[in-house]
Structures are given as C-alpha cells and as structure tokens.
C-alpha cells in the first residue's frame, strides 16, 4: 500500500506543474488545442502514475547541513519558472526554434527522460 503522503505529493506536484503550464498558455482550451501539448500532458500523467508504483524510495542518508537551506527556495523558484515560462514564451513565439518539430522533439525527450528516471 502506498503512503498517502507520497500519493498527495506526486499528484499535487503533477497537477501544480501542469496547471502552471496551462496558465502560461492562458487557459485549458488554448493549451489543449495542440496535439503535442496533449501528448505531453498524457506522458506527464503516465510518468506520475508509474512513479507511484515504481520501486523507488528516498534513503535517509547523511544529515543535511542546515546552512544549505537556502537551496530549497532556489530550487522551488527554478521549478516554478520551469513550469510556467516555456509555455508562456511558446505562446508569445519568443525564443522558439522551428515550433512544430521542436514541440514533438520535446515530447519525445520528456518521455525518454521520464522513462529513464523511473
């Protein structure tokens, strides 16, 4: 049986990440209007679902140095930017390369990375 904390964190984090991407596209209808973004959302859901049943865990390991707590805030900020800025810049056609092809390359890279991580 899966601990409720793990399920909550995985599903909550996945929903938050996808929600920020949807906000970057100015709503659900705009985000899901393109097949590559639909495929990306499906891959994200599959990776999140598989991660719940994958046999991975976090080991306790060494104690953390309390002086490094600032890193958590920096990583959280980078995660928020990584979730929202790509969708926003793609919508505005800013910093994009060969739109259609690169979207599908991104979906394949995301799926490959998710599979390797698991």
Neighbours of 21 (CB within 10 A): 22
Note the pLDDT tens digit of each residue in 15-32. 999 999 999 888 999 999
Note the pLDDT tens digit of each residue in 57-115. 666 667 767 777 788 889 989 988 988 888 888 888 887 887 788 889 999 999 999 99
- Cβ atoms of 32 and 41 closer than 8 Å: yes
CA distance 13 to 75: 14
For residue 95, CA distances in Å to 3, 21, 42, 90 come to 41, 16, 25, 7
pLDDT over 60 at 1, yes or no = no
- Cβ atoms of 71 and 10 closer than 8 Å: no
């Amino acid at each position: 049986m899966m601990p409720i904390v793990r399920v909550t964190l995985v599903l909550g984090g996945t929903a938050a990440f996808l929600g920020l991407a949807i906000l970057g596209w100015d709503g659900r209808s705009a985000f899901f209007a393109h097949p590559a973004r639909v495929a990306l959302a499906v891959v994200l859901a599959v990776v999140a679902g598989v991660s719940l049943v994958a046999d991975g865990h976090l080991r306790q390991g060494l104690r953390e140095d309390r002086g490094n707590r600032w890193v958590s805030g920096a990583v959280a900020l980078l995660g928020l930017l990584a979730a929202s800025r790509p969708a926003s810049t793609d919508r505005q056609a800013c910093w994009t390369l060969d739109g259609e092809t690169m979207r599908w390359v991104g979906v394949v890279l995301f799926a490959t990375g998710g599979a390797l991580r698991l």
